[in-house]
């Protein structure tokens, strides 16, 4: 994900604060629709589509990430068609129940909100998002915690992968491990982690750490960043107030 | 059991955000006051540890399923509640941003469900009470099993309350509770056992680590009254926000009805439709004039009987046509932008 943020499109160069605020506004607007909304969500796809195409991001990769986390929303949403069976819409001869409509609505919400969040990081990178958080007066200890956590995430994930691989090669890949082995593995991982943190602390001290972490905040925002927020927000409000697909459809139907 | 943006309403999401943000600010202040330099890298690395440990599964005997470490309780035992809460919040934030697990608006809910319960309820009132100041094997095991189970049950109940009060999912309260609580009782017990076992492992290997932690937080350091006041404020915010919405919008469905049908009636008198009618009168090939009349009828009809405002063939066809067209426009715009982005490069 972070390697995507290394891109160099105008969107990448945008103030991360602008992207953060716009993303939040987007999500709140999308979520504020009633539960049977389906058509009104369609115009909102312009935002992720715009970010992906103008930012030159791999659409397939993002889509895969979205699918990966979809089970929970689908699991809870799938009860809607079962419980709410009253017919709501006729499309030709087919009757569609309210439950299916709200289910589709949940799926659309899900896709929109998750892609928006993923695109925020893909276009800014985690460090820039943290910078934006500092600028937006999120408490320093929390931002420092986010940065530290993120930095060591991959180190420890790699370490736990190594441990698991080592176990597998010694057990001839015989399925999942038992409880005792698991506890000992996790326990050792924890001990290593604690030792690592002690080493990091000493390294920090020897480099002059005095209890304060200084997060660089070199971000500037200009007219482009402001207008990014304003234009998109107005557009979202417009989409929220007017049901574009229905209006457009009615217009077309009336014309012909 | 991460809440997803798709399942919550803005009121629920935002009020949980307020509560979680307040807790983060409070804990940040507390951690700063502790002024323990060592904790800065320790918190970060332990967060990463939780994340890495969740990737390792073990098989639960006789069930065919597998379990892993959840994290909230063990963090609290190792770090104390304030630092552990910040770690938990950071883990959830990264999960929301990078993996889309949960979501940004639901982040408040998730931090509340998975952070507040273990750190500020299960740890001070269950684990510390049972484990006490003088650590012993039996006490640590009982304390972490009960603590982790209760924390997870409360978290699952939080998910239920947030989902039901958002009214996006159709699941009724009682069904959902009966679905969630037993499953999470099982998960909670497993997590409790794992937590206890890992804590015991550390205690056997390096007892000084746990003793050092238990010195950080003498019992009674967490003010019971403060916790209750905090919870009361949380309840007031959620309750207030929810009831305010509940009074003006009796029901998500009815509200949606009113909103859409009300708008249609408005549009009939509005400028858009007037001009549309003018165009239409000139260009109508199909006898489409009845369209508007029907729409007005639908508006009245839906106000009286709750069904989808588009419960009419004409309107839903128009909706499909319009929806398809909008989608097409977006795809074209995306392709155009992509081509431009490439030529610029």
Task: Dump pLDDT digits (tens) for B61-101.
Answer: 666 566 667 778 888 888 888 999 999 999 989 888 887 77
CB A177 within 8 A of CB B58: yes
Quick: pLDDT tens for B22-31: 999 999 988 8
* Same domain? B214 vs B65: yes
Select, from the ranges B119-123, B237-241, B279-283, the one with the highest average predicted confidence (pLDDT). Answer: B119-123
Domain count for chain A: 2
Q: How far is B77 from chain A (nearest CA, A)?
A: 13
Contact (CB<8Å) A249/B4: no
At A172, is the pLDDT very low, low, confident or very high (cuts 50, 70, 90)?
Answer: confident
Q: What is the model's pLDDT at position B137?
A: 83
* The pLDDT value given to residue A232: 92
Same domain, yes or no, for A117 and A235?
A: yes
B-chain residues near A183 (CB < 8 A): 194, 197-198, 201
CB-nearest partner of A49 from B31, B288, B330: B330
Q: Which residues of B touch A37 (CB under 8 A)?
A: 256
CB-based contact B144:B129 (threshold 8 Å): no
Residues of B within 8 A of A150 (CB-CB) are: 94
- Count contacts between A and B (CB, < 8 Å): 390
Kindly report the CATH number assigned to the domain that includes residue B215.
Answer: 1.10.1760.20
Give B220→chain A minimum CA distance, Å.
Answer: 24
Same domain assignment for residues A58 and A103: yes
Does B238 lie in the same domain as B319? Answer: no
Q: Based on the domain organization, do A26 and A91 belong to the same domain?
A: yes
Check residue A254 and give its pLDDT.
84
Do A116 and A169 lie in one domain? The reply is no
Tell me what the pLDDT averaged over chain A comes to.
85
Distance between CA atoms of A28 and B9, rounded to whole angstroms? 9
Residue A185 lies in a domain: yes
Give the pLDDT of residue B248: 41
CB contact under 8 A, A69 and B99: yes
Same domain, A128 and A245: yes
A123 and A158 fall within a common domain = no
- Shared domain check, A161 and A239: no
Are B118 and B162 in a shared domain?
yes
Residue where a domain terminates, one of B200, B229, B248? B248
What are the tokens at B162? 């947030």
Q: Where among B248, B270, B295 does a domain terminate?
A: B248
Spell out the residues 6+ positions from residue A64 whose beta carbon is closer than 8 angstroms to its own: none
Q: Which of A139, A200, A244 should be substituted to probe chain B, the one whose Cβ sees the most B Cβ atoms within 10 Å?
A: A139
| Number of separate domains in chain B | 3
Same domain, B56 and B192: yes
Find residues 194-233 of chain B whose CB sits inside 8 Å of chain A.
Answer: 194, 197-198, 201-202, 205-206, 209
User: Chain A: nearest CA to B257, how far in angstroms?
Assistant: 9
Domain encompassing residue B319: 315-345
- Please give the average per-residue pLDDT across B133-152, as a whole number: 85
Co-location of B72 and B138 in the same domain:
yes
User: Does the pLDDT of residue B58 top 70, yes or no?
Assistant: yes
pLDDT top residue among B50 and A3: B50
Same domain, B254 and B120: no
Q: Determine, for residues B59 and A178 on separate chains, whether the beta-carbon distance falls below 8 Å.
A: yes
What is the predicted pLDDT for the residue at B234?
65
- Which of chain A's residues have a Cβ under 8 Å away from the Cβ of B314? 253
Does residue A255 carry a pLDDT above 60?
yes
Looking at the fold, whether B158 and B261 belong to one and the same domain comes out as: no
Q: Are residues A13 and A72 in the same domain?
A: yes
Among B248, B275, B295, the domain boundary falls at B248
Q: Are residues B217 and B257 in the same domain?
A: no
Residues A96 and A10 in one domain: yes
**Domain of A194, in residue numbers:** 139-206
Same domain as A117, residue A47 = yes
Q: Are residues A13 and A85 in the same domain?
A: yes
B111 with B15, same domain: the answer is yes
Confidence grade of residue B308 (pLDDT, cut at 50, 70, 90): very low
- B317 chain-A contacts, CB cut-off 8 A: 91, 249, 253
Asked whether the predicted pLDDT for residue A93 surpasses 80, the reply is: no
Residues B332, B259 share a domain: no
User: For B269-283, what is the mean pLDDT?
Assistant: 46
Residue A35's pLDDT band, with cuts at 50, 70 and 90, is: confident
**Nearest C-alpha of chain A: how many angstroms from B112?**
16
Summary mean pLDDT of chain B:
72
pLDDT digits (tens, 9 = 90+) for B198-225: 888 888 888 777 766 655 554 444 555 6
Q: Are residues A148 and A126 in the same domain?
A: no
Q: Note whether B303 and B327 are same-domain residues.
A: no
Q: Does B122 lie in the same domain as B168?
A: yes
């Amino acid at each position: 994900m972070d390697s995507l943020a290394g891109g160099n499109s105008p969107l990448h160069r945008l103030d991360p604060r602008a992207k953060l605020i716009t993303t939040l506004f987007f999500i709140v607007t999308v979520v504020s629709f009633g539960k049977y909304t389906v058509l009104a969500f369609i115009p909102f796809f312009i935002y992720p589509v715009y970010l992906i195409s103008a930012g030159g991001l791999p659409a397939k990769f993002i889509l895969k990430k979205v699918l990966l986390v979809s089970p929970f929303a689908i699991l809870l949403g799938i009860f809607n068609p079962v419980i709410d069976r009253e017919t709501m819409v006729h499309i030709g001869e087919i009757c569609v129940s309210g439950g299916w409509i709200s289910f589709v609505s949940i799926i659309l919400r899900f896709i929109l909100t998750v892609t928006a969040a993923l695109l925020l990081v893909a276009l800014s990178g985690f460090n820039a998002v943290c910078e934006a958080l500092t600028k937006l007066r999120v408490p320093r200890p929390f931002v420092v915690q986010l940065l530290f956590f993120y930095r060591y995430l991959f180190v420890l994930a790699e370490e736990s992968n190594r441990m698991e691989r080592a176990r597998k090669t010694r057990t001839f890949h015989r399925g999942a491990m038992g409880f005792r082995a698991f506890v000992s593995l996790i326990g050792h991982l924890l001990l290593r982690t604690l030792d690592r943190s002690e080493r990091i602390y000493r390294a920090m001290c020897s480099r002059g750490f005095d209890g304060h972490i200084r997060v660089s905040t070199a971000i500037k925002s200009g007219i482009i960043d402001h207008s990014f927020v304003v234009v998109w927000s107005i557009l979202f409000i417009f989409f929220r107030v007017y049901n574009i697909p229905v209006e457009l459809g009615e217009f077309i139907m009336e014309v012909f | 059991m991460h809440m997803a943006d798709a399942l919550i309403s803005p009121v629920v999401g935002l009020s949980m955000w307020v509560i979680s943000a307040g807790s983060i600010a409070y804990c940040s202040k507390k951690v700063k006051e502790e002024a323990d330099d060592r904790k800065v890298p320790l918190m970060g690395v332990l967060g990463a540890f939780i994340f890495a440990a969740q990737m390792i599964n073990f098989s639960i005997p006789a069930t065919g399923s597998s379990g892993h470490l959840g994290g909230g309780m063990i963090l609290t035992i190792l770090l104390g509640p304030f630092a552990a809460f910040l770690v938990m919040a950071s883990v959830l934030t990264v999960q929301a941003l990078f993996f889309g697990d949960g979501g940004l608006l639901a982040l408040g809910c998730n931090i509340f469900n998975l952070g507040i319960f273990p750190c500020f309820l299960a740890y001070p009132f269950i684990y510390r009470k049972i484990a006490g100041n003088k650590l012993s094997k039996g006490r640590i095991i009982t304390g972490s099993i009960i603590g982790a189970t209760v924390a997870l049950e409360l978290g699952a109940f939080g998910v239920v309350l947030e989902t039901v009060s958002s009214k996006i999912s159709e699941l009724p309260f009682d069904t959902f509770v009966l679905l969630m609580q037993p499953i999470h009782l099982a998960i909670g017990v497993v997590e409790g056992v794992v937590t206890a076992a890992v804590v015991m492992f550390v205690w056997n290997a390096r007892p000084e680590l746990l003793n050092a932690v238990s010195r950080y937080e003498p019992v009674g350091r967490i003010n019971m009254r403060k916790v209750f006041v905090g919870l009361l404020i949380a309840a007031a915010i959620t309750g207030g926000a929810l009831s305010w919405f509940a009074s003006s919008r009796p029901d998500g469905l009815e509200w949606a009805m009113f909103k859409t049908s009300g708008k249609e009636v408005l549009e009939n008198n509005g400028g858009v439709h007037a001009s549309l009618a003018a165009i239409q009168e000139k260009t109508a090939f199909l006898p489409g004039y009845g369209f508007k009349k029907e729409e007005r009828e639908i508006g009245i009809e839906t106000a009286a009987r709750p069904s989808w405002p588009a419960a009419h063939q004409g309107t839903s066809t128009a909706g499909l046509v319009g929806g398809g067209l909008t989608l097409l426009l977006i795809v074209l715009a995306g392709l155009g932008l992509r081509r431009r982005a490439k030529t610029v490069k």
